[in-house]
Amino acid sequence: MPLRKPSPEELRFISFLIREASTKIASKWEDSLMVTSMDDAGLGSLLLYPSGKIVNDREFGRVMFEVEFKDADNVPVVASLNLDQHGELFELDIWKVNFDPLIRFPDV
């Protein structure tokens, strides 16, 4: 999938997760952030590219912050903001417990 700028809703939710986390990341990260949707049956997960370009040798490092919320249909969702092995933004992992697509990100 092609790189794209995150939608306003995606950016707002990622910003919320970063604010809530105890880990600090580079300032102005949102200026160059690009994303691609993950092949997850529409759950809403994103691969994150903080430098604005695809880097192929990245791998999962650790969970930066995780939150649970209820989607618009009241189904629980777990969202994890993950870092790569170098401590850079890596992915926003969305798991809706019934595996239906995410309806919308929570208001944060």
- 102 inside domain: no
- 60 inside domain: yes
pTM of the model: 0.91
Q: Residue 51 sits in which domain range?
A: 8-96
Q: What stretches of 1-108 adopt beta strand conformation (E)? A: 34-37, 46-49, 60-70, 76-84, 89-96
- 61 inside domain: yes
Report residue 22's pLDDT band, with 50, 70 and 90 as the boundaries.
Answer: confident
- 58 inside domain: yes
- 34 inside domain: yes
Q: What's the total number of domains in the chain?
A: 1
Mean pLDDT throughout 88-103?
95
- 3 inside domain: no
- 57 inside domain: yes
- 103 inside domain: no
**Do residues 10 and 79 lie in contact, with contact meaning Cβ atoms separated by under 8 Å?**
no
Average pLDDT, whole number, for the chain? 93
**Could you report the per-residue pLDDT of 25-36, keeping only the tens digit for each?**
887 899 999 999
